Amino acid sequence: MKLTITIFTVIILSIISFNISFAQYTEGFENTFYPTGWSGAGFQKSNAKSKSGNYSSVSLLNSTNSEDNYMVLENVATTESATINFSYVGNSGNKNTRLSIYIQNASVNNGDSVLVTSLTPDKTNWKTANIDLPYAFENRQNNKIYFIVNKLVSGGNDKVYIDEVNSSFPMPVQMSSFTYSVNVNNVNLKWNTNSEINNKGFEIQRNSGNDWSTVGFVSADPSKSYSFSDNNLKSASYQYRLKQIDFNGNFEYFNLNGTIKVGTPSKFSLSQNYPNPFNPSTKISFQIPSDEFVSLKIYDNSGREVMTLVSENKTAGYHTVEMKSGLSSGIYYYHLTAGSFSDTKKMSVVK
Map out the domains of the chain as residue ranges: 25-167, 172-262, 269-349
Closest by alpha carbon to 342, among 291, 299, 290, 286?
286
Give the model's pLDDT for residue 152. 54
Which of the four pLDDT bands, split at 50, 70 and 90, describes residue 250? Answer: confident
50 Cβ contact partners less than 8 Å away, ≥ 6 residues apart: 56, 161, 163
Q: Determine contact, residues 77/141, Cβ cutoff 8 Å.
A: yes
Quote the Cα angle for 302-306-307, to 5°.
145
Q: What is the rounded average pLDDT of the residues 279-283?
A: 91
Measured in whole angstroms, the distance separating CA 217 from the mean position of its chain's CA atoms is 7
For residues 50 and 57, give the distance between their C-alpha atoms in angstroms, rounded to a whole number.
8
Residues composing the chain: 351
- The Cα 47–Cα 30 span in angstroms is 9
Contact indicator for 168, 87 with CB cutoff of 8 Å: no
327 touches 277 (CB < 8 A): no
pLDDT at 257 over 90: no
pLDDT at 297 over 70: yes
Distances (CA, A) of 332 to 46, 303, 329, 347: 61, 9, 9, 5
Residue 335's nearest CA partner among 295, 302, 283 is 295
Please report, in angstroms and rounded to a whole number, the separation of the first and last CA atoms in the chain: 27
Residue 121, preceding peptide bond in cis (omega within 30° of 0): no
Confidence band (pLDDT; 50, 70, 90) for 247?
confident
**Half-sphere exposure for 65 (CA within 13 Å, toward CB):** 19
Quick check: 37 pLDDT over 90? no
Q: Look up the CATH architecture of domain 269-349.
A: Sandwich (2.60)
**What's the CATH fold of domain 172-262?**
Immunoglobulin-like (2.60.40)
CATH of 25-167, one of 3.20.190.10, 2.60.120.200, 3.40.50.720, 2.130.10.10: 2.60.120.200
Domains 25-167 and 269-349 agree in fold: no
Neighbour tally for 31: CB within 10 Å: 12
* Average pLDDT over all residues of the chain: 85
What is the arithmetic mean of pLDDT over 297-316?
93
- pTM of the predicted structure, to 2 decimals: 0.52
d(CA 78, CA 251): 15
Quick one: pLDDT at residue 15? 39
State how far the Cα of 68 lies from the Cα of 70, in Å rounded to an integer. 6
How far is Cα 345 from Cα 284, in angstroms, rounded to an integer?
10
Span 91-133, pLDDT tens digits? 988 888 889 999 999 999 999 999 999 999 999 999 999 998 8
